[in-house]
A and B are shown apart, each in its own frame.
Chain A
Amino acid sequence: MKYDVIVIGGGLAGLTGAIRCAEAGLKTVVVSAGESALAFASGAIDVFGIEKDNALVEFPFAAIRHLPSMHPYQKVGTGSLQQALTFFTGQMAAAGIPLNNHGQQNHGRLTALGAIRPAWLSQEGTVSLPLRTSTEDLRRVAIINIAGFRDFQPALMAAGMQQQPGFCEVEFILADIKTETLNINTRNAYELRSLELSRTLKRDLFSQPNGMNILSSALQKAAGNADLVVIPSVLAVEGGNDLIRQLETLTGLRICEVATLPPSLPGMRMASALKQRFRQLGGMFLEGDQVLSGCFEEHQLRSLKTRLNPDMPISASHYILATGSFFSQGLASDRHHMTEPVFGLDVETSQSRDQWSDSRFMDGNQHNFSHFGINTNEQLNPYRNGQKINNLYCAGAVLNGFNPVQEASSGGVAISTGWFAANRIIATMPQAEETC
């Protein structure tokens, strides 16, 4: 079976590239083994938020000009990065998720631990804070949970926020809304996680004509006269941003939902919107199959073997590898080696094994292993035994040369490299319609 493009991996990088290809009229398939990192992600997009010296970045597009040449942003260039983000914002809007940005500037997003992380795009259901929050308009912050939901801890969040310079004077209101108040039937609330809770709310509360009113008056009662009300993101996967907006109208409060411990509903919402968009554009999304290996000929990838159809290889003129990092199994390691498990592409590790990670796992220093990944040329083509593979492109967390966590750059890198790879492919395909 022959396609124009096969994308391996259906995370943020793979889907962005796939949507771009499908939109250009290319016959595109995504093969994705399982859940992507989006199910854990905040649902906001970081572009570049933290400098090497841990200073917060106010102007990400200006700051990335100083990155080393091996960084993916230097390969795609600032122009492509901005075009890719514009493209992504447009696609998400078309799928019903408007995203907010502040032009050249980063904004702050609240985490469930009360930190303020620099982000560039945020969903409407969250409140963008100034990066360095001043308390001018924030005197009282209410953090409200649904009683028994254990993946969000208001007290922990408040303690975290109090450590931020802008919040030391703020008064915190911590409260729980009882499940009986919402008439929801959770026989064992301790079993409940974000996704299950959203389903229970849908079934028992939002299905009632006055459901939103019950929730809004409970929120009003709990939040008092707070200037900002923080709730865990448990209301809904799809349509969650609209529910927050309706609640704001009903209560007159300023409400911010925060992604909880996984599964993260805002991240899942983004994943589901991307898949929907891809299908609407005629793309084929094959979930649950896994690419096992490839057949190479003359520096070209010719076909792929998958787990479910091992004796029927699938082939395309071009391929994008967007299999993610270690957790998604895009990279693998044993005691001595780091490998790319699907094709055995050349991986950059540079140091010896004992330098891979910092011996103190969580003390804030970066681990070298998060820098590792597939080595590519300027066009994002990888190498195999030193030979460049011309019709294969790599995108997202599988790439080397950047540190997604330390720099707060993972979303921007995934989107821009996925988009860039797609554009390289489109440029070589005569049948592609130039749309952008």
Chain B
Amino acid sequence: MLNIIDTSFDNCIKCTVCTTRCPVAEVNPDYPGPKQAGPDGERLRIKNPALYDEALKHCTNCKRCEVVCPSGVQVGTVIQLAKARHDGFKKGPREFILSHTDMMGSLSASTAPVVNIATQLKPVKKLLDKVLGIDQRQTLPKYTYQTFRRWFKQQKAQQTRFDRQVSFFHGCFTNYNDPTVGKHLVAVLNAMNIGVTLLKKEKCCGVPLIANGFFDKARKNAQLNMGQFADTLADSECVLATEPSCAMTLRDEYPEVLHVDNHAIRERILFAAAFITREFAKGNKPGMKPLNLRVAYHSPCHLIKQGGVIHTMELLNSIPGLDVMMLDQKCCGMSGTYGFKKENYQTSRNIGQGVFDQIEALNVDYVVTDCQSCKMQVEMNTAHKVMHPLTLMAQSLI
């Protein structure tokens, strides 16, 4: 697998800007930073695989290095592919459990009340910590008893009444853990006279699988999802995702990391806020009442990577009465499954400290962010409640 070695990393001009912006290199001296782990290391690895550096395991694939690189080097991707080529992922039972979000979700949803109580219990947390290395100081996400798909079944008839239809890729979190954002998306789109449909079947986009090294499984999911997209796009305008990491993976990681071609439909896979603000620009804006709130917006790494921050800000700024302040664009440190691993717990918090400090210094009603993993991290480490932009918008609908 992956035997074609792309040499575009050689566009690197050795400016070190990526390393100055890597959140992991900032707090973890064991990590040599993107320049060395990416383009510099790649040259050595091509010559001699024995020169592969163990320390690549610390990279969270947050993509910040790619965003700042003036030469367009896909540093994060170079590192993920090197890890895959050189067997640099540790793939134990913990990695399996944390990354197979849809499988764990479907196992847990039917027994949600039990699982939820169990995973918040001290002895269980201790056990997970000891046996699996899932840090006991982390609050595990709860599972929902009624999955989003189950809830949606009751909405189906209602949705088909709209002339315009878009498909929604809900992702694992919205389906199994907290369907709120999905419900709010439906409310917002309906208020804009657009109906929602789901894919007949959807698999995890693959982001946690890539992060934990299950590339073959991620590729299988990607192929299945691509087939589903092709089907659903026959009857709907586009596919929307509310999770920044899902949207990034479907649009960019499929071709770049998994080598699954999506170019024929890539333009029709959109981050939800991008679609909504495009509608606004065409004059399709729902009626909204003022929400007199002051909020701080935290921009998720994977949203920055895909240029989506402007859309979320536009959406928030369109809500009357909402006073939005953008936080300095720092990483919160959670990076999906990364922060749950025992050995990363401290690094993850150290990375996020810059975000927590900014938030604690502000006098705001809520913190707002698009990403569920950022939400968990901020709520665990500050006294603030975190809201999704679509939740605020849904609250403001007349």
Query: What is the interface of chain A, defined by CB distance below 8 A to chain B?
Result: 1-2, 27, 29, 33-35, 39, 185, 187, 193, 195-196, 199-200, 203, 263, 272, 275-276, 279-280, 282-289, 306-309, 311-312, 314, 329
Q: Is residue B191 within 8 Å, beta carbon to beta carbon, of the partner chain? A: no
Q: Which residue of B lies closest to A27 (CB)?
A: B317
Contact check, B68 vs A35: say whether CB atoms are below 8 A apart.
Answer: yes
Q: Which residue of B lies closest to A195 (CB)?
A: B20
* B278 contact set on A, CB distance < 8 A: 312
How long is the Cα–Cα vector from A185 to B309 in the complex, in angstroms? 38
Closest chain-B Cβ to A196's Cβ sits at a distance in Å of: 8
Contact check, A34 vs B325: say whether CB atoms are below 8 A apart.
Answer: no
* B186 contact set on A, CB distance < 8 A: none
Q: Is residue B326 within 8 Å, beta carbon to beta carbon, of the partner chain? A: yes
Contact check, A309 vs B20: say whether CB atoms are below 8 A apart.
Answer: no
- Known contacts A185-B29, A280-B325: does B70 contact A306 (CB below 8 Å)? no
Query: What is the interface of chain B, defined by CB distance below 8 A to chain A?
Result: 16-17, 20, 25-27, 29, 67-70, 267, 274, 277-278, 280-281, 304-307, 309-310, 313-314, 317, 324-329
Contact check, B329 vs A35: say whether CB atoms are below 8 A apart.
Answer: no
Contact check, A200 vs B281: say whether CB atoms are below 8 A apart.
Answer: no
Contact check, B277 vs A1: say whether CB atoms are below 8 A apart.
Answer: yes
- Known contacts A279-B327, A285-B326: does B307 contact A263 (CB below 8 Å)? no
Chosen A-B contacts, 20 in total, with CB atoms closer than 8 Å, are A1-B277, A1-B310, A1-B314, A34-B69, A35-B20, A39-B17, A193-B16, A272-B328, A279-B327, A280-B325, A283-B326, A284-B313, A285-B326, A285-B329, A288-B68, A288-B304, A288-B305, A307-B307, A308-B306, A312-B274
* B281 contact set on A, CB distance < 8 A: 1-2
* B69 contact set on A, CB distance < 8 A: 34
Contact check, A263 vs B325: say whether CB atoms are below 8 A apart.
Answer: no
Contact check, A311 vs B267: say whether CB atoms are below 8 A apart.
Answer: yes
* A272 contact set on B, CB distance < 8 A: 328
Closest chain-B Cβ to A303's Cβ sits at a distance in Å of: 11
Contact check, B310 vs A29: say whether CB atoms are below 8 A apart.
Answer: yes
Closest chain-A Cβ to B17's Cβ sits at a distance in Å of: 5
Q: Which residue of A lies closest to B318 (CB)?
A: A1
* B306 contact set on A, CB distance < 8 A: 308
How long is the Cα–Cα vector from A276 to B16 in the complex, in angstroms? 23
Q: Which residue of B lies closest to A279 (CB)?
A: B326
How long is the Cα–Cα vector from A33 to B326 in the complex, in angstroms? 18
Q: Which residue of A lies closest to B67 (CB)?
A: A288
Which 6 pairs across A and B sit closest by C-beta, in order of nearness? A308-B307, A288-B67, A34-B70, A279-B326, A309-B307, A35-B17
* A35 contact set on B, CB distance < 8 A: 17, 20, 68, 70
Beyond A288-B307, A312-B278, 4 additional contacts (C-beta under 8 Å) are A35-B70, A195-B20, A286-B307, A288-B68
Q: Which residue of B lies closest to A194 (CB)?
A: B20
How long is the Cα–Cα vector from A263 to B19 in the complex, in angstroms? 11
* A276 contact set on B, CB distance < 8 A: 328
Closest chain-A Cβ to B352's Cβ sits at a distance in Å of: 15
- Known contacts A185-B29, A199-B26, A306-B307: does B68 contact A284 (CB below 8 Å)? no
Closest chain-A Cβ to B12's Cβ sits at a distance in Å of: 14
Closest chain-A Cβ to B284's Cβ sits at a distance in Å of: 14
How long is the Cα–Cα vector from A27 to B324 in the complex, in angstroms? 12
* B313 contact set on A, CB distance < 8 A: 284
Contact check, B325 vs A286: say whether CB atoms are below 8 A apart.
Answer: no
Candidate in B20, B277, B305, B329 with the most chain A CB atoms within 10 angstroms? B20
Closest chain-A Cβ to B146's Cβ sits at a distance in Å of: 35
How long is the Cα–Cα vector from A135 to B332 in the complex, in angstroms? 51
How long is the Cα–Cα vector from A33 to B66 in the complex, in angstroms? 11
Q: Which residue of B lies closest to A193 (CB)?
A: B16
How long is the Cα–Cα vector from A286 to B305 in the complex, in angstroms? 11
- Known contacts A29-B310, A34-B17, A311-B267: does B329 contact A287 (CB below 8 Å)? yes
How long is the Cα–Cα vector from A28 to B328 in the complex, in angstroms? 16
Q: Which residue of B lies closest to A187 (CB)?
A: B29
Q: Which residue of A lies closest to B324 (CB)?
A: A282
Q: Which residue of A lies closest to B277 (CB)?
A: A1
* B68 contact set on A, CB distance < 8 A: 34-35, 287-288
* A283 contact set on B, CB distance < 8 A: 326
* B67 contact set on A, CB distance < 8 A: 287-288
Contact check, A284 vs B26: say whether CB atoms are below 8 A apart.
Answer: no
Q: Which residue of B lies closest to A281 (CB)?
A: B325
Contact check, B327 vs A284: say whether CB atoms are below 8 A apart.
Answer: no
* A279 contact set on B, CB distance < 8 A: 325-328
* A196 contact set on B, CB distance < 8 A: 25
* A282 contact set on B, CB distance < 8 A: 324-325
How long is the Cα–Cα vector from A262 to B78 in the complex, in angstroms? 26
* B309 contact set on A, CB distance < 8 A: 284, 286
- Known contacts A279-B325, A279-B326, A282-B325: does B310 contact A309 (CB below 8 Å)? yes
How long is the Cα–Cα vector from A1 to B317 in the complex, in angstroms? 11
- Known contacts A35-B68, A279-B326: does B29 contact A287 (CB below 8 Å)? no
Closest chain-B Cβ to A367's Cβ sits at a distance in Å of: 22
How long is the Cα–Cα vector from A306 to B274 in the complex, in angstroms? 14
Q: Which residue of B lies closest to A329 (CB)?
A: B70
Candidate in A279, A280, A307 with the most chain B CB atoms within 10 angstroms? A279
Closest chain-B Cβ to A390's Cβ sits at a distance in Å of: 24
Closest chain-B Cβ to A190's Cβ sits at a distance in Å of: 13
Closest chain-A Cβ to B307's Cβ sits at a distance in Å of: 2
Contact check, B310 vs A284: say whether CB atoms are below 8 A apart.
Answer: yes
Q: Which residue of A lies closest to B278 (CB)?
A: A312
Closest chain-B Cβ to A277's Cβ sits at a distance in Å of: 11
* B329 contact set on A, CB distance < 8 A: 285, 287
Closest chain-A Cβ to B379's Cβ sits at a distance in Å of: 22
Q: Which residue of A lies closest to B33 (CB)?
A: A196
Closest chain-A Cβ to B73's Cβ sits at a distance in Å of: 12
Closest chain-B Cβ to A342's Cβ sits at a distance in Å of: 15
How long is the Cα–Cα vector from A203 to B310 in the complex, in angstroms? 34
* A33 contact set on B, CB distance < 8 A: 70
Q: Which residue of B lies closest to A2 (CB)?
A: B281
* A195 contact set on B, CB distance < 8 A: 20
Closest chain-B Cβ to A11's Cβ sits at a distance in Å of: 13
* A285 contact set on B, CB distance < 8 A: 326, 329
* A29 contact set on B, CB distance < 8 A: 310
Closest chain-B Cβ to A22's Cβ sits at a distance in Å of: 11
* B26 contact set on A, CB distance < 8 A: 199
Closest chain-B Cβ to A239's Cβ sits at a distance in Å of: 12
- Known contacts A287-B67, A288-B304: does B29 contact A275 (CB below 8 Å)? no
How long is the Cα–Cα vector from A17 to B354 in the complex, in angstroms? 27
Candidate in A33, A199, A200, A312 with the most chain B CB atoms within 10 angstroms? A312
Closest chain-A Cβ to B26's Cβ sits at a distance in Å of: 6
How long is the Cα–Cα vector from A187 to B277 in the complex, in angstroms? 50
How long is the Cα–Cα vector from A200 to B313 in the complex, in angstroms? 35
* A284 contact set on B, CB distance < 8 A: 309-310, 313, 326
Q: Which residue of B lies closest to A276 (CB)?
A: B328
Contact check, B310 vs A287: say whether CB atoms are below 8 A apart.
Answer: no
Contact check, B310 vs A286: say whether CB atoms are below 8 A apart.
Answer: yes
Closest chain-B Cβ to A176's Cβ sits at a distance in Å of: 21
- Known contacts A1-B314, A34-B68: does B328 contact A275 (CB below 8 Å)? yes
* B17 contact set on A, CB distance < 8 A: 34-35, 39
* A311 contact set on B, CB distance < 8 A: 267
How long is the Cα–Cα vector from A187 to B16 in the complex, in angstroms? 19
Closest chain-A Cβ to B306's Cβ sits at a distance in Å of: 6
